[in-house]
Amino acid sequence: MGFLLCNMDDKYKKYLQSDEWYQLKIDILEYRGHKCEKCGRTKNLHIHHKHYENIYNEEPEDLIILCGLCHAKAHGIIKEKKKKPKKKKVKKKKQFNQLTRREEINLKKTNPHKYNIYLKKLKDKYSKY
């Protein structure tokens, strides 16, 4: 919380260190769960004001739980990186892999249906020669 206190007036700093604010923080963490509401982290949690319209008289919906990193991003201390669009993965045709004898025995015991499919593929593979 220290890096965020530097740009605040004394009244607000005292408020954030008051028993009233502490109890509000505890209540919100208990009610919503001890995790960042943006990324899900569970350590270094802060309570962030979404806006300052109801300052000193906040409602729970005026506040959000953020981890230190997301809190710094919310205040513009750290800039978020732009996410690059993900490339579409091209599905490769699965190659038929022959099992070891031990794997064959285990497959036959555990899943006879898959074992029969395996045998058919094995037969198809070697009938070409």
- Domain extent listing, the chain: 7-74, 94-129
- Where does the chain show beta strands of DSSP type E? 45-49, 63-67
Fold of 7-74: His-Me finger endonuclease fold (3.40.1800)
Q: What is the pLDDT along the chain (129 residues), one digit of tens a residue?
A: 444 545 567 888 888 888 988 898 899 999 998 999 999 999 999 999 888 888 888 888 889 999 989 888 888 887 767 677 777 777 666 565 777 888 888 888 888 898 888 888 887 777 765
- Taking each helix axis from N to C end, the angle separating 101-110 and 112-127, rounded to the nearest 10 degrees, works out to 140
Structural tokens at position 15: 């408020």
Q: How far is CA 78 from CA 8, 70, 83, 121, in A?
A: 18, 9, 15, 55
8 A C-beta contact, residue 49 and residue 25: no
3-state secondary structure of 67: strand
